[in-house]
Amino acid sequence: MVNQAPSNAVSRTHPHRRRQFVVQLIVAAVIFASGTVVGAGGIVIMVKQRVIRIDLQKRDAAAIAAKLKATYGLNQEQTGKVEGFIKNIMDARKLLRQEMDTKFALERTKLVNDMKTVLSAEQFSRWHRDFQDKVGQTHDRGGS
Protein backbone atom coordinates (compact mmCIF):
# COMPACT_ATOMS: atom_id res chain seq x y z
CA MET A 1 0.00 0.00 0.00
CA VAL A 2 1.15 3.37 -0.94
CA ASN A 3 0.46 6.36 1.21
CA GLN A 4 -1.25 8.98 -0.84
CA ALA A 5 -1.65 12.55 0.21
CA PRO A 6 -5.18 13.81 0.29
CA SER A 7 -6.16 15.53 -2.96
CA ASN A 8 -6.85 18.85 -1.27
CA ALA A 9 -3.24 19.10 0.01
CA VAL A 10 -1.85 19.03 -3.53
CA SER A 11 -3.98 21.90 -4.80
CA ARG A 12 -2.99 24.23 -2.01
CA THR A 13 -0.29 26.78 -2.64
CA HIS A 14 1.90 28.11 0.04
CA PRO A 15 1.06 31.68 1.07
CA HIS A 16 4.70 32.82 0.91
CA ARG A 17 4.97 31.67 -2.72
CA ARG A 18 1.87 33.65 -3.64
CA ARG A 19 3.27 36.75 -1.92
CA GLN A 20 6.59 36.27 -3.65
CA PHE A 21 4.83 36.09 -7.03
CA VAL A 22 2.85 39.25 -6.30
CA VAL A 23 6.00 41.09 -5.22
CA GLN A 24 7.82 39.96 -8.39
CA LEU A 25 4.87 41.12 -10.49
CA ILE A 26 4.88 44.54 -8.78
CA VAL A 27 8.65 44.91 -9.22
CA ALA A 28 8.35 44.02 -12.91
CA ALA A 29 5.56 46.58 -13.36
CA VAL A 30 7.64 49.29 -11.65
CA ILE A 31 10.67 48.52 -13.82
CA PHE A 32 8.53 48.59 -16.96
CA ALA A 33 6.89 51.88 -15.98
CA SER A 34 10.27 53.43 -15.13
CA GLY A 35 11.69 52.40 -18.49
CA THR A 36 8.68 53.84 -20.27
CA VAL A 37 9.01 57.17 -18.45
CA VAL A 38 12.76 57.41 -19.08
CA GLY A 39 12.31 56.55 -22.77
CA ALA A 40 9.53 59.09 -23.21
CA GLY A 41 11.63 61.75 -21.51
CA GLY A 42 14.55 61.00 -23.80
CA ILE A 43 12.36 61.36 -26.85
CA VAL A 44 10.96 64.68 -25.60
CA ILE A 45 14.49 66.02 -25.08
CA MET A 46 15.61 64.83 -28.53
CA VAL A 47 12.63 66.40 -30.27
CA LYS A 48 13.04 69.64 -28.33
CA GLN A 49 16.72 69.90 -29.33
CA ARG A 50 15.95 69.23 -32.98
CA VAL A 51 13.17 71.80 -33.06
CA ILE A 52 15.40 74.41 -31.42
CA ARG A 53 18.26 73.63 -33.84
CA ILE A 54 15.94 73.89 -36.85
CA ASP A 55 14.51 77.15 -35.49
CA LEU A 56 17.99 78.69 -35.17
CA GLN A 57 19.01 77.63 -38.68
CA LYS A 58 16.00 79.28 -40.32
CA ARG A 59 16.57 82.72 -38.84
CA ASP A 60 17.67 85.65 -40.93
CA ALA A 61 19.20 88.96 -39.88
CA ALA A 62 15.84 90.73 -39.68
CA ALA A 63 14.35 88.07 -37.39
CA ILE A 64 17.37 88.13 -35.08
CA ALA A 65 17.34 91.95 -34.97
CA ALA A 66 13.61 91.92 -34.17
CA LYS A 67 14.20 89.52 -31.29
CA LEU A 68 17.02 91.69 -29.95
CA LYS A 69 14.78 94.75 -30.29
CA ALA A 70 12.10 93.07 -28.19
CA THR A 71 14.57 91.71 -25.63
CA TYR A 72 16.70 94.84 -25.14
CA GLY A 73 14.26 97.59 -26.09
CA LEU A 74 16.24 98.86 -29.08
CA ASN A 75 14.96 101.86 -31.00
CA GLN A 76 14.52 101.85 -34.79
CA GLU A 77 18.00 103.23 -35.50
CA GLN A 78 19.69 100.69 -33.23
CA THR A 79 17.64 97.86 -34.72
CA GLY A 80 18.68 98.86 -38.24
CA LYS A 81 22.37 98.99 -37.31
CA VAL A 82 22.19 95.66 -35.47
CA GLU A 83 20.46 94.06 -38.45
CA GLY A 84 23.26 95.36 -40.70
CA PHE A 85 25.95 93.94 -38.38
CA ILE A 86 24.23 90.57 -38.25
CA LYS A 87 23.73 90.48 -42.02
CA ASN A 88 27.43 91.30 -42.57
CA ILE A 89 28.55 88.53 -40.24
CA MET A 90 26.12 86.04 -41.80
CA ASP A 91 27.44 86.91 -45.28
CA ALA A 92 31.03 86.56 -44.06
CA ARG A 93 30.28 83.16 -42.53
CA LYS A 94 28.61 82.02 -45.74
CA LEU A 95 31.67 83.07 -47.73
CA LEU A 96 33.97 81.25 -45.27
CA ARG A 97 31.82 78.09 -45.57
CA GLN A 98 32.06 78.26 -49.37
CA GLU A 99 35.84 78.71 -49.20
CA MET A 100 36.16 75.78 -46.78
CA ASP A 101 33.94 73.61 -48.97
CA THR A 102 36.22 74.36 -51.92
CA LYS A 103 39.33 73.53 -49.87
CA PHE A 104 37.79 70.31 -48.56
CA ALA A 105 36.84 69.28 -52.10
CA LEU A 106 40.42 69.90 -53.24
CA GLU A 107 41.80 67.83 -50.35
CA ARG A 108 39.35 65.00 -51.10
CA THR A 109 40.47 65.03 -54.74
CA LYS A 110 44.12 64.83 -53.66
CA LEU A 111 43.33 61.92 -51.36
CA VAL A 112 41.46 60.06 -54.10
CA ASN A 113 44.38 60.55 -56.52
CA ASP A 114 46.90 59.40 -53.89
CA MET A 115 44.83 56.31 -53.04
CA LYS A 116 44.53 55.48 -56.73
CA THR A 117 48.34 55.23 -56.96
CA VAL A 118 48.58 52.82 -54.00
CA LEU A 119 45.55 50.52 -54.35
CA SER A 120 44.78 47.99 -57.02
CA ALA A 121 41.86 48.76 -59.34
CA GLU A 122 39.53 46.45 -57.37
CA GLN A 123 40.67 47.82 -53.99
CA PHE A 124 40.34 51.39 -55.20
CA SER A 125 36.86 50.76 -56.56
CA ARG A 126 35.68 49.39 -53.21
CA TRP A 127 37.48 52.10 -51.21
CA HIS A 128 36.18 54.90 -53.42
CA ARG A 129 32.59 53.68 -53.10
CA ASP A 130 32.94 53.53 -49.29
CA PHE A 131 34.64 56.94 -49.25
CA GLN A 132 31.82 58.50 -51.30
CA ASP A 133 29.30 57.03 -48.86
CA LYS A 134 31.18 58.58 -45.92
CA VAL A 135 31.39 61.96 -47.67
CA GLY A 136 27.64 61.79 -48.34
CA GLN A 137 26.91 61.00 -44.70
CA THR A 138 28.98 63.97 -43.59
CA HIS A 139 27.09 66.31 -45.92
CA ASP A 140 23.76 64.86 -44.74
CA ARG A 141 24.66 65.80 -41.15
CA GLY A 142 25.43 69.35 -42.23
CA GLY A 143 29.21 69.07 -42.22
CA SER A 144 31.62 69.76 -45.05
Find the distance separating the first CA and the last CA of the chain, reported in whole Å.
89
Q: How confident is the model at residue 56, as a pLDDT?
A: 56
What are the tens digits of pLDDT across the range 55-104? 555 678 998 899 899 999 999 999 999 999 999 999 999 999 999 999 99
Distance CA(59)–CA(69), nearest Å, equals 15
**Every domain of the chain and the residues it spans:** 19-58
At what angle are helices 121-140 and 76-118 packed, to 10 degrees? Answer: 170
pTM listed for this prediction: 0.49
What are the tens digits of pLDDT across the range 104-137? 999 999 999 999 999 999 999 999 999 998 888 7
How distant, in Å, are the alpha carbons of 58, 83, 139 from that of 61? 10, 5, 25
